[in-house]
Structure 1
Amino acid sequence: MIKLIIVDDHAVVRSGLRMLLDGKNNIEVLAEASEGDEAIKKAVELKPDVVLMDLSMPHGKDGLTAAKELKELLPDTAILILTMHDDEEYLFQAIHAGASGYVLKSAPHEELLSAINMVSSGSAYLNPIATKQLMGEYMESFKNGGNSSSLHSLSNRETEILEWISKGYTNKEIAENLVISVKTVETHKSNLMEKLGLKTRPELVKYALKKGLLNFD
């Protein structure tokens, strides 16, 4: 049996998911939680195979923060994000937080079941629509010459900062980790974006993904 915890701030959503999942397709729902801290407490106690986690929980710890903390405490527990946010920024933040999968609440229940089975077995799962949109935007940028530049044009420090940015760290966090000023980080970021012909953080993430710089071990 796949042992699972449901985390969502809406009781109706939790109830509906329990009715859909519990006792079906080799899934056992161990518990429910309405926010991140409660989810962490129950997960540490029950040690589920999968935590099905919402992102937006305004009355407690949010899903991204909880996912990151939970992954540190229970590295063998898979975290599957179930959210309404069809946005690549949330997608990459979820990956950075340690999530193994990302499913939209609008997805058919067959997709959710498939995602649960995949992440419980150690595989990753990304929503097909989000992936298609991400690749479509990347290809469009590539056609326009935005991502065709080589990593060889970047200095070692610029490449290092690109890696930090692509993993979701803020300029302040990068500065603290590299023991440099925020202004220096901003300067390097500006220079590498100019060299690569990119304008936004999502474009930098896509570039890093293509070049194999995203390593979350």
Structure 2
Amino acid sequence: MTGMTGVIRTLVADDQAVVRTGFVNLLNTQDDIEVVTEAEDGAQAVALAAEHRPDLVLLDIRMPHLNGIDAAREILAASGGATRALMLTTFGLDEYVYEALAAGASGFLLKDCTFPELLHAVRVVAAGNALLAPEITQRLVAEFARQRSAVPPARDIEGLTAREAEVLVLIAQGLSNAEIAGRLTITDHTVKTHINRLFTKMELRDRAQAVILAYEMGLVRPSPTA
């Protein structure tokens, strides 16, 4: 989902100037990533995203005027799927991670991440995939899914085969395609086929939405230590 030049055009939004500048400077050292604009709050991020139409927006969850979740929701809706959102979070503190996934964010990045982790996250999300590192997203989703009030699910899994439901559970547990293949003793190609059918049947955009669905359907239970 990069631009025609193959460069990932990125918007960075964080109200902390030092953090924002650090991310911008690091990203701009890469030939395949270009920070086209930066914002100091969510409202500015929405306006600049409309103007620059970036491939990816890197948004702090907690910003003044408009938080990162609401900014992501507006940016993604306006882009018609052309822009992806990667959220910046402080592990164990942000209470809205689940809501960010539901708003369409494709993953999370810790503010104290390493340079390689930052580059990996940007490239994974820009390529149209979800960043679901078990040590970050799975625990956060589990924690805040437990806090959500119980509501009847909008979808059921009766249309899924037993194997497709099994794959859904493993996705929610943070396993990669290769790990799922090893767990189920099937080929990577077969895993991809199951995932494609699962996503089509349940109208899922990516693995982030699959995680949400698995928790909402009760297929995966948050662990007491999550």
TM-score bracket for this pair, using the shorter chain length:
0.5 to 0.7
Which among 60, 72, 76 is matched to residue 67 of structure 1?
72
Number of the residue aligned with 2:200: none
2:27 matched to 1:21? yes
Number of the residue aligned with 1:162: 152
Code of the aligned partner of 1:208:
E
CA contact (8 A) 1:79 1:101 kept: yes
Number of the residue aligned with 2:101: 95
SS of 2:36's partner is strand
Which among 216, 220, 225 is matched to residue 208 of structure 1?
216
2:111 matched to 1:108? no
> 5 Å matches for 1:53-64?
53-58=59-64, 60-64=65-69
SS of 1:110's partner is helix
- Structure 2 distance, partners of 1:44, 1:103, is 23
- Structure 2 distance, partners of 1:86, 1:13, is 19
CA RMSD of aligned residues (A): 3.1
Number of the residue aligned with 2:139: 133
2:41 matched to 1:35? yes
TM-fit CA distance, 1:135: 8.7
TM-fit CA distance, 1:70: 1.0
**Compared CA separation, residues 92 and 15, structure 1 to 2 (3 A):** same
Matched length: 153
Code of the aligned partner of 2:106:
S
Greater gyration radius: 1
Compute the TM-score of the two structures, normalised by the length of structure 1.
Answer: 0.61
CA contact (8 A) 1:104 1:127 kept: no
Please list the CA deviations of residues 110-150 of structure 1 after superposition, one character each: whole Å capped at 9, or x if unmatched.
1111110011010000343224535987xxx9xxxxxxxxx
TM-fit CA distance, 1:205: 7.8
> 5 Å matches for 1:185-196?
none
Number of the residue aligned with 1:12: 18
CA contact (8 A) 2:97 2:141 kept: no
Which among 44, 47, 50 is matched to residue 50 of structure 2?
44
**Compared CA separation, residues 23 and 209, structure 1 to 2 (3 A):** farther
- Structure 2 distance, partners of 1:118, 1:103, is 12
- Structure 1 distance, partners of 2:9, 2:42, is 18
Code of the aligned partner of 2:68:
G
Give the number of the structure with larger relative contact order, counting CA–CA contacts within 8 Å between residues 6 or more apart: 2
CA contact (8 A) 2:9 2:35 kept: yes
TM-fit CA distance, 1:103: 1.0
Compute the TM-score of the two structures, normalised by the length of structure 2.
Answer: 0.59
Please list the CA deviations of residues 17-39 of structure 1 after superposition, one character each: whole Å capped at 9, or x if unmatched.
11111141511000110111111
> 5 Å matches for 1:163-178?
163=153
SS of 1:163's partner is coil
Please list the CA deviations of residues 38-83 of structure 1 after superposition, one character each: whole Å capped at 9, or x if unmatched.
111111111111000001113x211011111111101210000012
- Structure 1 distance, partners of 2:215, 2:17, is 40
**Compared CA separation, residues 19 and 50, structure 1 to 2 (3 A):** same
